[in-house]
Amino acid sequence: MFISSQSSAPCFKDFTLVMPAVAVGNVGQLAVDLLVSTLNMSRVGYMHTDCLIPMAGNNPYGGCKEGAEELHTPAEVYTSAELKLAVLQIRAPIIRSKSKSFRQLLLSWIKSSGFARTAVLSSSHAYQRDDQQLQGAPLRFLMTPSLLRGSGEALKELGWTEMERSPAYPGLSDSEAEPRLSIPGGGITKGLYTDSCAEDVPLAVLLLFCSEGDNIPDAFTLINRLNDWLHLLDNPDAGNIKWKIPTSWSLLFGSGIPPALF
């Protein structure tokens, strides 16, 4: 359930929603961090649910003074009214037994809010790619039929590669079983996409094959691909886009090795 942090509930009608899937390497979450930090987006509320592991912390996008008195939660919503853009950042793992409930909560909120389209930033295990997925760039997309009808031409111009379906029984070329969609390590990505197809929700998945480790370069790759489509930071005179790294990334790998050890 969405809880507004303002005196009046924000209107998301015809906004674009961007959200991550909690997946391998946390690439989607890191990419969303870059988007919120660079656009200096305003927090307008949070999702109240028992489907996420509870946690709390200081402001991940401000300095020590800015975040000292602010409490932030596992799933928060940020907006940029000028761009008609909303972002749902998810910072905690989804409780496995409540994955379906969380997907239903998200779709219910997306439909009731009137979002024009939703972009899910996700990732999948690079080592589990099949032969055809080893070709070309490690980026893939999925789009529900309702969104594809309006964005098909734009995708052709971008030259994106759609996520391939894998054989139900690899190695059996004469199998009559339909190829299936498989996103290992993708968390709720597959379920959210199939649910959106069934409920006619305009939703796209932007996905990157990756491995666990330092996934900051993967986050930049993914957010640049999103910007190619949505043109959030387009400025022909600016050259390369300069994404703003949030202060919380300074602790991404801990606080360093204590000198006293040596």
The sign of the dihedral angle between the CA atoms of 104, 110, 116, 122 is negative
The sign of the dihedral angle between the CA atoms of 42, 47, 90, 159 is negative
Number of neighbouring beta carbons within 10 Å of residue 188: 22
CA distance 123 to 65: 34
* Per-residue pLDDT, 63: 66
pLDDT band for position 164 (cuts 50, 70, 90): confident
Write out the two tokens for 255: 């606080």
* Domain 13-165+182-235: assigned CATH number: 3.40.50.10900
DSSP state letter for 134: G
Q: Which residue has the tokens 């969609």?
A: 181
* Per-residue pLDDT, 237: 46
What is the DSSP track for 174-201?
T--SPPB---TT-TTHHHHHHHHHHTT-
Q: Per residue in 28-79, pLDDT tens? A: 999 999 999 999 999 999 999 999 999 888 888 876 665 657 788 999 999 9
Write out the two tokens for 137: 């760039």
Mean pLDDT, rounded, of the chain: 87
Strands (DSSP E) contained in 21-80 are 42-47, 75-80
**38 or 153, higher pLDDT:** 38
CA distance 259 to 211: 30
CA distance 59 to 43: 10
pLDDT band for position 137 (cuts 50, 70, 90): confident
Name which of 31-40, 50-59, 105-114, 189-198 the model is least confident about. 50-59
Number of neighbouring beta carbons within 10 Å of residue 98: 15
Contact status, residue 211 vs residue 125, Cβ threshold 8 Å: yes
* Per-residue pLDDT, 221: 94
The domains of the chain are located at 13-165+182-235
- pTM summary value: 0.89
Number of neighbouring beta carbons within 10 Å of residue 82: 7
Strands (DSSP E) contained in 96-220 are 117-125, 139-143, 203-210
* Per-residue pLDDT, 65: 63
Q: Is the pLDDT of residue 97 over 60?
A: yes
Q: Which residue has the tokens 């199939």?
A: 194
What pairing do the DSSP bridges indicate for beta strands 117-125 and 42-47? unpaired
Residues 6+ apart with CB under 8 A from 175: 167, 168, 169
The sign of the dihedral angle between the CA atoms of 64, 122, 84, 232 is positive
Contact status, residue 120 vs residue 226, Cβ threshold 8 Å: no
**66 or 23, higher pLDDT:** 23
Contact status, residue 46 vs residue 76, Cβ threshold 8 Å: yes
Q: Which candidate, 118, 122, 110, places its Cα nearest to that of 190?
A: 122
* Per-residue pLDDT, 135: 80
